[in-house]
Amino acid sequence: MIKLARYKEKEIKKHLSGRQSFLLLGPRQTGKTTLCEQALSKQSNKIEYWLSDPTVRIELEKDPGSIIRRIEDAKAKKIVFIDEAQKVPEIFDSAQYLIDKNLASFIFTGSSARKLRRGGANLLPGRIRKISLDPLSFGEIGLLQRGRIKDLAINNINSTGYTLNDYLVYGSLPRIVISNKSDRISLLSAYTEIYLEEEIRAEALSRKIGAFGRFLELAAAESGANPNLTKLSNSVGISSPAIKEFYNILEDTLIVDRIDPYIINARKRIVSNPRYYFFDLGVRNILARLTLDKNLVNAQKGILFEHAVIQEILRRIRILNKNYKVYYWRTYYGVEVDCIIDTGAKLIPIEIKAHSRIGKKDISGLVSFMDEYKEKIKEGYVITMGKYNEKITDNITAVPWFNI
C-alpha cells in the first residue's frame, strides 16, 4: 500500500505528544482513519472504538458511560480513539468528564457536523481542537512548482505521477489517486452510492429518495454556479424550501463548500445568493452522470479548472489554519470575480481562466472590483493554464495554477 504524506500529520502528532484532544473532521474517505492509525501505531496506552462496527456502536448507544468505567478501571491515563464519532454523539459527555479529570485524551474522527449538532453533541469548547482534512491538495499530489501568492504558499510533499487532467476528471480522494485508472470509476460510483444510502437513512428521506437523487445530480452539474432554486424545485418536484434543506444537508455533511457573495459596503447591485462547490471533482463528475474520460476536460475545461482552483484555495486555508474567509463577487450586470480572499488585513481578488493568454477582457471584473475596494487591496491575480508568471498591470499578475 502506497503511503501518502499529509500536511496535517505534524499537527496531529503534535497534539498527540501533548495529550491534546482533537476532532479530525472531513468527508468520507479523505484519509482520517489512516492518518490517526499511523499516528497511534506506536502508542501502547490507547483504547479504540470503531463506531462503523454495529456491535460497538449499539453497546455505546445503550451505555455511553461504559467508557468512563473502562478508563477509571485502567488506573493509567489513556489515549482514546473514536472513529466516526457522529454515530454516537452522547460519547462527548463522557469524554468531557474524563478530560476534566485528566484521565484521558481523545482523538475523534467525524464526517458530519450535522449529525453531531442534531444529536446534541457536546463538542467540548476549549477542550478539543477541530482539525479539517480534505482530499489531497496539489502539494500532496506533487503538482506544485513555486508559490507566487505568499498568503497561500506551500510545498510539495509527495510525488504521485497524478496529472492535472487526472485531477479534473477523477478528483483527489487518496484512494483514487493511488488506484489504477481502470478502478477509479467503480470506486467513485461506490462512494456516491454509500453516501446516498447513509444520508437517506440518517435524514429519514426514504420517501424522498428519488427527489434527493435527482437533486444530487442537478446540484453536482451546477456546482460552482449560482443555483436557481425555482428551476431546481420544478425539475426535482419539491418545494424551494426543501431544495434549500437539501443544500444544507450537503453542506453539513461536508460534501459542498458554501461561498457567499462579497457585499460589504457595496456601491453596485450585487448578486446575493451563495454558490456551492462540491468537495471533490471526481465525486461531482460521477454524481452529475458525466462520462469520466479525457474528453470531459475538453468539454468542461473552464468549469473543471475553476472548480479545482477554488477547491485548492479552500484546502490551503485549512492546511495553513488561517482564519481567512472566501467570497465571490458578481454584479447584476454580469461583472464578476471568481474568488475573493479576506485575510482580515486585506482582500486578495482572484480570477480563474482556463487558458494561457490573458487579455484586457479577462481582467475587467478584477479591475472593477479593485477600483471599488482599492483601499483594501494591494494586488490581484489571474490563475491560468499558462507556463509563466506574467505582470498584466501594475497590480494584477497572471499566475499559472502550479504556482499558486
- Please state, as a whole number, how many other Cβ atoms lie within 10 Å of the Cβ of residue 119: 17
The pLDDT value recorded for residue 125 is: 65
The pLDDT value recorded for residue 165 is: 97
Of the listed ranges 31-35, 42-46, 120-124, 324-328, the one predicted with least confidence: 120-124
Q: Checking DSSP bridges between strand 325-330 and strand 336-342, what pairing results, if any?
A: antiparallel
Beta bridge partners of 24: 109, 131
CA dihedral (385, 287, 222, 311) positive or negative:
negative
HEC profile for 93-107? HHHHHHHHCCCEEEE
Residues of the domain holding 97: 9-132
The pLDDT value recorded for residue 207 is: 64
Residue 396 lies in a domain: yes
Q: Checking DSSP bridges between strand 347-352 and strand 336-342, what pairing results, if any?
A: antiparallel
The pLDDT value recorded for residue 269 is: 79
- The residues near 312 (Cβ < 8 Å, ≥ 6 apart) are 137, 138, 401, 404
Tell me how many domains the chain contains.
2
The pLDDT value recorded for residue 353 is: 97
Residue 294 lies in a domain: yes
- 214-272 pLDDT tens trace: 999 999 999 999 999 999 999 999 999 999 999 998 998 899 999 999 998 777 778 88
Residue ending a domain, choose from 132, 147, 178: 132
Residues 263, 223 share a domain = yes
Residues 83, 58 share a domain = yes
Residue 2 lies in a domain: no
The pLDDT value recorded for residue 204 is: 54
Structure confidence at residue 17 as a pLDDT band (50, 70, 90):
confident
Residues 218, 89 share a domain = no
CA dihedral (13, 15, 17, 19) positive or negative:
negative
**Nearest by Cα to 169 from 158, 159, 161, 177:** 177
**In the chain, % of residues over pLDDT 70:** 94
Three cell numbers written together for 361? 477582457
Q: How many helices (H) and strands (E) does the chain have?
A: 16, 13
- Please state, as a whole number, how many other Cβ atoms lie within 10 Å of the Cβ of residue 242: 18
Contact 280, 172 (CB under 8 A): yes
Residues 204, 66 share a domain = no
Residues 371, 222 share a domain = yes
Letter string b/e over residues 66-98, b meaning 16 or more CB atoms within 10 A of that residue's CB = ebbebbeeeeeebbbbbbbbbbbbbbbbbbbeb
Q: Looking at residue 72, which CATH number applies to its domain?
A: 3.40.50.300
Residue 352 lies in a domain: yes
Residues 211, 74 share a domain = no
The pLDDT value recorded for residue 167 is: 98
- 205-215 pLDDT tens trace: 656 778 888 99
- Chain-wide mean pLDDT for the chain? 91
Residues 308, 390 share a domain = yes
Cα–Cα–Cα angle for 80, 84, 89, rounded to 5 degrees = 85
Highest-confidence range of 108-112, 146-150, 170-174, 263-267, by mean pLDDT? Answer: 170-174
Residue 148 lies in a domain: yes
Three cell numbers written together for 264? 460589504
For residues 352-373, give the mean pLDDT: 94
The pLDDT value recorded for residue 200 is: 65
Output DSSP code: residue 2: P
d(CA 64, CA 61): 6
The pLDDT value recorded for residue 121 is: 54
Of the listed ranges 123-132, 187-196, 344-353, the one predicted with least confidence: 123-132
Residues 312, 258 share a domain = yes
- The residues near 314 (Cβ < 8 Å, ≥ 6 apart) are 134, 257, 277, 326
Residue whose grid cell is 481542537:
129
Residue 3 lies in a domain: no
DSSP reduced 3-state for 44: coil
**In the chain, % of residues over pLDDT 90:** 74
Contact 130, 113 (CB under 8 A): no
The pLDDT value recorded for residue 148 is: 86
Residue ending a domain, choose from 104, 132, 160: 132
Residue ending a domain, choose from 112, 132, 152: 132
Residues 169, 110 share a domain = no
For residues 40-58, give the mean pLDDT: 92
Three cell numbers written together for 294? 479525457
Residues 175, 107 share a domain = no
The pLDDT value recorded for residue 194 is: 85
Three cell numbers written together for 146? 513555486
Beta bridge partners of 106: 80
For residues 3-7, give the mean pLDDT: 92
Contact 340, 262 (CB under 8 A): yes
Residues 107, 225 share a domain = no
Distances (CA, A) of 80 to 13, 48, 105, 169: 15, 6, 6, 38
Residues 371, 299 share a domain = yes
For residues 15-38, give the mean pLDDT: 92
